[in-house]
Structure 1
Amino acid sequence: MRLLLTTLLLPFVSIVLGQPAELPPVTMQQLVAATPAFAQDAEALVLLENGRTQLEIVESEQALLVVHDYNVRIKILKKEGVDRANFEIPLYAYGKDFEKIMDIKGFSYNLKNHKIQETALAKDAIFINKESPYRHVARFTLPQVEEGSIIDIQFRILSPDILNFRTWQFQEDIPKVKSVFTAVIPATYQYQVTLRGPYKLTDTKSEVLRDHFVLNGVRNDCSKLTYTMDSIPAFKEEDYMLAAKNYTSAIFFELEQYYLSSGSKIRVTKEWRDVDRELLGEKSFGGQLKKEDIFKEILPALLEGKNTALEKARAIYTYIQKTIRWNDVYGKYAEFGIKESLAQHRGNVGDINLALIAALNAASIPAYPILVSTRSNGLPNNLHPVISDFNYVIGGAEIDGKTVLLDATDALNPFGELPLRCVNEKGRIIYSKKSSEWIPLLNEAPSMVIFSFLGRLDSLQNLKGNLAITYKGLDALRKRNEIVSFPSEEEYLEHMQTRIPNISVVASSIRNVHEIDETLSEQLEIEIPLSDFVHQGVLNFNPILMNSTSKNPFNLTERTYQVDMGSKRYVTHNVHIELPANLQVKSSPKNLNMRLPDEAARYSYQSALEGNRLTFKQTVALNKAIYSVDEYFHLKEFYSRIIQQQHLNFELQKTD
């Protein structure tokens, strides 16, 4: 939902120091009050939150800054909600300057002996951690917090990014009784103010603050806008979704233009052709794409024996993957530059993928940068180019008449596939000679896991055999990264044994962990004791030895956002078991075939007894990467039926 609220255009202003509305004193009634109906299942409840954002001349910093004041009161409803006393507040870098946090205050309130006991947050309990060159985090934990407590916090953030106003999140992962946000907008700043999400505002107020700010000796007016939303349900996250902030109720401020004190107008909302030109002229973006000469000496040996564009592109992709190690820093711009990143064998996303694009172009393979907003970062603006929406860059290479999407940051990611973090609807191709355009961010290769078991039931006591598990697509990337996170493959296999306690692994091996263009597989020789499943001479046996679906990933009564898998997905179980001659199948689950409308998904459960061999095959085929809101109910029922079917057992009985 995208609702245009207002567009502001006022004379230039400056702002006198302002504060959000103070929280009223905590009352006995608040501590003992019943939980409102819309928050019955919540672990915590926001009773009231206030925010205020404005421009101020901050004397201590001798600068014009965006100042954001925030205070909130939260009631802890359950023991699980005690973690709400832990706060992490991110602070970001803008050029050489960082956001700063100040005036942090916190209090916890408990009912003790029919009196309200107040405990204050100690100043030495506040820590500022430098997590990266671009992000710091303020951390603190309020004391004496338990089930039934009320906690208050307040703080102020000073931001040097005066061209970006605060987004206010009305809806979050716990419900709120009341949320109030006040924006004081400079008169010469023109914003498009937009409410997104499923819930409407309870109230909106506006007023003009006369002579509110003095700049260069001139007093000016401001526009004060106050937005209120009441009884806000918690946003419930579920599997297979994009960033929650794409769907929660929030208010956004998009700066379109502003006036300097000289009277000249600066337009911020630009056309894509303006953004293209700026990016390609930027030293850390377009300037890196011009460095094709760096690869001239490398390419002849690298491409020797490679005849097609695809072969050459694969070789270059592998070279960049192995030469520049990702430092885990996102970015659309190069951090060190191609030359230095190649020399020091490390770089951020921009360093790696801009180097890949330059190398491909040096080999006469047309390639372009594609701006991406990662899944956790949210969807980019559709209506206007907002360059700050994008936090990542990948490559697009023209090979055999199609654009192949490339991200070389992960050494275990195959050519032509995107890691899940990049699969976020669409990216923007930045061409050098024509206007940029949107391109879908899709993985054509499906994710796939196949369990194949060949074994023998030697009695009613033990099942022995060989289990092969093969992985492709996103499942292979996930599994490869899991494996290499252990010091050795042996330690990974030892850990795997702890996750399948009912199965004894006699021997094991892994194939193609680093051969990323090959199928990843785990080979396990296993034994499964079945004596606990024998009752009155009948063995109850389930042939789905691993990875059965025990919990429905879709449980919401209504899901207001689409299901996004990242790719199509297939999971198959193939089981072949040799039965003893004196054992017969007394009963077996009925075969089942299910299909969703338009073949959106398919489920097959088939078994047969041929002589003494029991064969079983199950396939779950999700034939779409994305399912709409209208398809959610069908998908939910689809998984419910699968779970029911997977709980059914075969009954095996001796004939003598």
Structure 2
Amino acid sequence: MKIKLLLLIFIGTHYVHANDFKFGKVSKEELSEKQHPTESDASAAILYKKERVFYNYDYEQGWAVIKEAHYRIKIYNKEGLDWATLQVPLYISRSDEEKISSIKGFTFNMADGKIVSEKLKKDGVFIEKINKYRNKASITMPEVKEGSVLDIEFRVSSPLYWHMDDFKFQYAIPVKKVDLRLDIPEYFVFKRHSKGFYPIKLNESRKSRSITVSYRSEDDQSGRSIKTSRKNGALEFYENVYEVNANDLPSLKEEMYTNNIDNYRAAIKFELASTQFPNRPYKNYSLSWEGVAKSIYEFDNFGSELKKTSYFEEDVDNVIVAQTEDMEKANLIFELVKSKMTWDKYNGVTCSSDGIKKAYKEGSGNVAEINLMLTAMFRYAGLKANPVLVSTRSNGIPLFPTTDGFNYVVSGVEVMNDVILFDATEKNTYPDVLPNRALNWMGRLVRKDGSSSQIDLIPKEPSKELHYMNAKINIDGSVEGRTRTQYSNQLALSFRDVLDNTEEETYLEELENNYGEMEISSFDIKNKDEFSKPVIETCSFVKENQCEFLGEKIYFRPMLFLAQTDNPFKMDKREYPIDFTFPRQKKYMINLSIPEGYQIESLPENAIVQLPEQAGIFKFKIVSQENQIRVSVLTEFKTALFPANYYDILKEYYKNLVLKQSEKVVLSKI
């Protein structure tokens, strides 16, 4: 008898630990609690989150990862009602997809001093297709109101045995207790990476186990036919067990100028490092960043696509004819691709199975198809061009080498000792001005020979917003005048995108509302499609109630409605960086005429606030001459990223800025 061991069956066992959070059993104390004991402003809280993860094996389907989850959520007020719907991502591979099952839920409330429950019904579960890579299950609980407690259980089966989502421990609301356990057969070796600033202890142990083995027996019938039959055996092996038991985790609040809050959320990432199956060779998945870049370049739907040129040669030849300057060629090819191609909104570093040629013919493609096509055209024209791998801001900052760390690609043209970056997915981009989604710290340029180098994605040149205003203060307290605002670089890109996606009438209504019922006329835009120039917006305006009257005196802010009145930083403490996305400068030049019969009694004092290491500055200067007031204001950040220990400094910076811009000019009657 010849026994061939094919694969192992791991019978997943649902481990049950004694705890106070038995599904379907809530207490009056939980229901009667009016606010969170340590965060009184919390709109809701996760009282309990349990996840059990284990491996299963099916003879026909192969390995699968099973996750069983239990959430208990307390709703404190109306703002917390958003937590009545729990959303579960479900990923799709080329041949299979994750599936959710065993969904159960109860909403508990108090009525006449008694606990009443409402069971989750089928119409409360909805699965929708987000894109070709992901589905989403939405579990909406019934009869949720202020004071409710929700109990939800579900099970996700994933054929993507090599992939696990981050195990998250922090949310926008506080978490009372987390109970996580993973049981991983010795055949899978995972690296563990911690994220966030709140310390999480991961306990590791090893557990022996005997499992049932399925194998095929081939019996030689002494010259007759070979008979094959399925038999079972037993195999002793061990599992690596990983556990987290954490209590009283604070909420992770997000405020302005945050990159991707998931970068800073307390979490643990499991990354498959290697596999070693019985009677199979050892396979190592661990890579350096250079290895990741080279691995991606060698994909058939990446590097091979860069070699194809026949489909575009005639078009490129026509646009660069008689051109000798490299940057002129690059700009013409860039405009060709932008005008020809429409981005289908899919990210990714590889082309679809149909390839670039079909995308070019149809005029639509994903980000890889568009920007690899652009790179191939640059190379055809004799430019030193290479793809640059990027992780978008929504994808997070890749903290360790893995092919999942990159989900976007742009094109880089090496000129002298610099690399000019191009992204043709949007009509309003231009050389070295990428969409904000791609400005995520560092990318990696990959060359034909497999070498690679790190590329700083953050622009060195600041984006500028310049405001010029000539206005007259009227005797009734209204103001009328004309403004001219110009935007450059990233700010120009964003402004052009807004103009493209908004009807002019709607845009003007929104602009008037943003400045508080202002009346705008004579509106004009210049350089909308001349990307090498700043885009300029001019308009005439009238705005009432800009002054206060006290006796025979008039009070008004010298920056009028352009003054910043709110500090974006409100937290007592912030443990994650401040990310302005790109260096920026905002400048105001304002000329004001005061009403006849009045004189200037007092002006705010001039002021300068300088950040350490000349990282930023705020300047306020005001002068007067006869019946004219001239105001010059500058705010500037020379770097895009500040570490968390700058938070108090930046908070104080904005505090001084708001106070200074709120100070009043005083006019007195002559």
TM-score tier by shorter-chain length is over 0.9
Asked if the contact 1:14/1:186 (under 8 Å) is kept, the reply is no
Counterpart-to-counterpart distance in 2, 1:653 and 1:273: 70
**Residue 244 in structure 1 maps to residue 261 in structure 2:** yes
User: Could you say which residue in structure 1 is the equivalent of 2:423?
Assistant: 407
SS at match of 1:491: helix
1:17 aligns with 2:3: no
Cα deviation code 1:436-488 (max 9, x no counterpart): 222221112312211111133354444322111111122222222222222x3
Aligned to 1:292, the other structure's residue is in SS state coil
- What is the CA-CA distance between 1:142 and the residue it aligns to? 0.4
Give the aligned residue type for 1:443.
Answer: P
Q: 1:55 to 1:201 in 2, by over 3 A?
A: same
Query: Structure 1 residues 112, 407: CA separation in 2 closer, same or farther (over 3 Å shift)?
Result: same
In 1, the alpha carbon distance for the partners of 2:125 and 2:176 equals 28
Work out the CA distance in 1 between the residues paired with 2:629 and 2:650: 31
Correspondence for 2:573 = 558
Whole-Å separation in 1 of the counterparts to 2:404 and 2:574: 29
364, 367, 391: which one pairs with 2:382?
A: 364
The structure number with the bigger radius of gyration is 2
Shift of 1:68: 1.2
1:453 and 2:452 correspond: no
Aligned CA distance change for structure 1 residues 324 and 497 (closer, same or farther; 3 Å):
same
Change (3 A) 1:457 1:432: same
Please report the TM-score for the alignment, with normalisation by the length of structure 2: 0.91
RMSD between aligned residues: 2.1
Contact 1:13–1:188 (Cα < 8 Å) also in 2: no
**Secondary structure of the corresponding residue to residue 309 of structure 2:** helix
Distance 1:35 1:355 in 2: 56
Amino acid at match of 2:43: E
User: What's the secondary structure of 2:67's corresponding residue?
Assistant: strand
For 1:623-646, what per-residue CA distance to the aligned partner results, in whole angstroms no more than 9, with x for missing partners? 211112222211110000111111
Residue 177 of structure 2 is aligned to residue 174 of structure 1: no
2:501 aligned with 1:506, yes or no? no
Paired amino acid for 2:12? L
Report if the CA contact (8 A) 1:55-1:184 is conserved.
yes
Partner of 1:334: 351
Alpha-carbon displacement from aligned partner over 1:424-444 (angstroms, at most 9, x marks no partner)? 111122111142222221112
Hey, what does 2:272 align to over in structure 1? 255
Deviation at 1:289, TM superposition (A): 0.8
Match of 1:312 among 329, 346, 358: 329
User: 2:552 is matched with which residue: 537, 562, 570?
Assistant: 537
Alpha-carbon distance in 2 for matches of 1:494, 1:396: 40
Partner of 2:536: 521
Structure 1 residues 334 and 202: CA distance shift in structure 2, 3 A: closer
TM-score (norm 1): 0.93
The structure-2 alpha-carbon separation of the partners of 1:531 and 1:300, relative to structure 1 and needing over 3 Å to count, comes to closer
Structure 2 counterpart of 1:6: none
2:4 aligns with none
Q: In the alignment, does 2:50 pair up with 1:57?
A: no
Contact 2:294–2:446 at 8 Å: present in 1 too? no
Matches within 5 A, 1:53-202: 53-57=53-57, 62-201=61-200
**Structure 1 equivalent of residue 222 of structure 2:** none
Read off the aligned partner of 1:28 and give its amino acid letter: K
Q: Which runs of 5+ in 2 are unaligned?
A: 1-6, 216-231
Looking at structure 1, the residues matched to 597 and 202 of structure 2 have their Cα atoms a distance apart, in angstroms, of 77
Mapping 1:568-587, distance limit 5 Å:
568-587=583-602
User: What's the CA shift for 1:212?
Assistant: 4.0
Would the aligned equivalents of 2:294 and 2:451 in 1 still touch at CA under 8 Å? no
In structure 1, the partner of 2:404 is: 388
- Residues of 2 paired with 1:654 and 1:460: CA distance? 14
Q: Is the 8 A contact 2:36 2:42 kept in 1?
A: no
Q: 2:444 aligns with which of 397, 408, 428?
A: 428
Whether 1:351 and 2:369 are equivalent positions in the alignment is: yes
Q: May I ask how many residue pairs the two structures share in their alignment?
A: 640
**CA 1:505–1:274 in structure 2 vs 1: closer, same or farther (change >3 Å)?**
closer
1:288 and 1:628, CA in 2 relative to 1: closer, same or farther beyond 3 A?
same
Q: Deviations over 1:125-147 (max 9, x none)?
A: 21111121112111231011111
Q: Is the 8 A contact 2:289 2:402 kept in 1?
A: no
Distance 1:379 1:133 in 2: 23
CA-CA distance at 1:252 after TM superposition: 1.6
User: C-alpha separation between the residues in 2 aligned to 1:256 and 1:66?
Assistant: 16
CA distance in structure 2 between the partners assigned to 1:236 and 1:209 by the alignment: 42
* Residue segments in structure 1 that go unaligned for 5+ positions in a row: 1-11
The equivalent residue for 1:4 is none
Query: What is the aligned-residue identity percentage?
Result: 28
Instruction: Tell me which residue corresponds to 2:483.
Output: 467
1:375 is paired with a residue whose SS is coil
* Cα distance between partner residues in 1 of 2:195 and 2:533: 44
Contact 1:128-1:138 at 8 Å conserved across structures? yes
Do the aligned residues in 2 keep the contact of 1:39 with 1:45 (CA within 8 Å)? no
**2:660 & 2:322 partners in 1: Cα distance?**
53
Q: How far apart in 2 are the matches of 1:182 and 1:230?
A: 15
